[in-house]
A and B are shown apart, each in its own frame.
Chain A
Amino acid sequence: MGCKTIQEMLPAYQDGELSQSEVRDIEEHLLVCDACRDVNRELKETWHALEIWDDVDVPERSGKTILSRLPEQRRMYWPRIVLPVAAALVIVFGMTLKFAGMKNEKQIQMPIPAPAQLSAEYPDVDEDELIADLPILQDEEFYDSLEELVEIDYLPLVDEPKQKETDRERSSLDVILT
Chain B
Amino acid sequence: MEETDIALMALIKKGDVKAFELLLARHQRSVYNLALRFLGDPDEAEDIMQNTFIRVFRASQTYTPEAKFTTWLYTIVKNLCFNVLRSRRSAEIISMDSEYLPELPAKTEDPIERISRSQIRETVIRAVSSLPENMKMAVILSKYHGLQYDEIAAIMGCTVNAVKLRVHRAKIILAKELKGLSRET
Residue among B15, B30, B182 facing the most chain A CB atoms (10 A cut-off): B182
Instruction: Let me know if A73 and B58 touch, CB within 8 A.
Output: yes
State the interface size on chain B (CB cutoff 8 A). Answer: 46
The stretch of A24-32, A54-62, A102-110 that contacts the partner chain: A54-62
A66 x B61 contact (CB < 8 A): no
Offer 27 A-B interface pairs, CB within 8 angstroms, sorted by A: A11-B171, A11-B172, A42-B179, A43-B172, A43-B175, A48-B185, A49-B184, A49-B185, A50-B124, A50-B174, A51-B143, A51-B185, A52-B117, A52-B185, A55-B144, A56-B32, A58-B28, A58-B49, A59-B42, A62-B49, A65-B50, A66-B54, A67-B24, A70-B57, A73-B57, A73-B58, A77-B61
Of the candidates B24, B28, B164, B185, the one whose C-beta lies within 8 Å of that of A12 is B164
Bound CA span A47–B28, Å:
25
A23 within 8 A of B: no
Q: Report the Cα distance A39→B144, complex, angstroms.
A: 23
Within 8 A of A (CB), among B29-73: 29-30, 32-33, 36-37, 42, 46, 49-50, 53-54, 57-58, 61
Q: Which residues of A contact B (CB under 8 A)?
A: 7-8, 10-12, 15, 17, 39, 42-43, 45-53, 55-59, 62-63, 65-67, 69-70, 73-74, 77
Question: Are A63 and B24 closer than 8 Å at their CB atoms?
Answer: yes
Which A residues lie within 8 Å of B58 (CB)?
73, 77
CA distance A53 to B129 in the complex (A): 11
Seen from chain B, the residues whose Cβ lies within 8 Å of a Cβ on chain A are: 15, 17, 20-21, 24-25, 28-30, 32-33, 36-37, 42, 46, 49-50, 53-54, 57-58, 61, 117, 120-121, 124-125, 128, 139, 143-144, 164, 167-169, 171-172, 174-175, 178-179, 181-185
Nearest CB to that of B129 among chain A residues? A53
**Cβ–Cβ contact B168 & A11, under 8 A:** yes
Q: How far is the CA of A51 from the CA of B142 in the complex (A)?
A: 12
Picked from A17, A42, A51, the residue with its CB within 8 Å of the CB of B175 is A42
CB pair B171–A49 under 8 Å, yes or no, is no
Q: Which of A15, A47, A62 contacts B50 (CB 8 A)?
A: A62
Which residues of chain A come closer than 8 Å to B121, judged between CB atoms? Answer: 52-53
Cβ of B41 to closest chain A Cβ, rounded Å: 13
